[in-house]
Amino acid sequence: MPVLGLGIAPNPLVPDETKKTATIEAVEVGCPHCDIATIHISEEALGEGINEVLAHGMIESREELFITSKLWCADAHPHLVLPALKRRLTSFRPHGCTGSHGSVPKTCKGNFTCKKLAELLAFATIPPPVNQMVQPDHLLRWPYEQGIAVVAKSLNKERMKQNLGIFSRELSHEDHEKICTITQGRMCTGLDHTSQAYSNS
């Protein structure tokens, strides 16, 4: 999995053409990992961008790209998971591609706290290989040095190039000490996406 990815989650929303262009430019600058989500309404634009990349021979096959999406919280029920994942594939599948052997994506990603991840791993027969962590763009190098894959949201080609610069610089011991003093907090508590019963459990 490429350790640096492009997040196509503009806020406020932008036209699909802008998201499609960002997808193409990400491949151009050497960032083959794209991260999307249903709530960001970016899946179809990503698929169109990938179609254009393939049509212009910028890559030889879809296998050169690594794409991650998310299971929407309302679909997190045993009977809804597979249909939801298949809808995700349909939304952003490039023409002529069938995903992972014509079925669901080969990578599943979660966004869990350590406690919830431990609960999941206690019974999961196929553990999620990726757990997402949101990180401000200006601190990209730090999680990379911790062995964490990073997704940076940007629709600007020059900024994408700058983000790739994390591979050519290194943080000093002093940098690490300063970063460790930064107060951590939740940007989104998720309460508006959680049932009252679960919130109280």
Query: DSSP of 160-188, one letter per residue?
Result: HHHHGGGGG----HHHHHHHHTSPP--S-
Check residue 2 and give its pLDDT.
85
Query: Over 70: is that where the pLDDT of 193 sits?
Result: no
Mean pLDDT estimate for the chain: 78
Domains of the chain, CATH where assigned: 4-171 (3.20.20.100)
pLDDT band at 197 (very low <50, low <70, confident <90, very high): low
Beta bridge mates, 64? none
Query: Over 50: is that where the pLDDT of 160 sits?
Result: yes
The residue with greater pLDDT, 101 or 178, is 178
- List CB contacts of 166: < 8 A, sequence separation 6 or more: 4, 140, 141, 144, 150
Check residue 174 and give its pLDDT.
92
Check residue 146 and give its pLDDT.
82
Q: In this structure, what token pair is assigned to residue 15?
A: 């036209």
- What does the pLDDT look like over 99-114, one tens digit per residue? 444 444 445 555 667 7
Q: How many residues does the chain have?
A: 201
- What does the pLDDT look like over 18-65, one tens digit per residue? 999 999 999 999 998 888 877 778 888 888 999 999 999 998 888 888
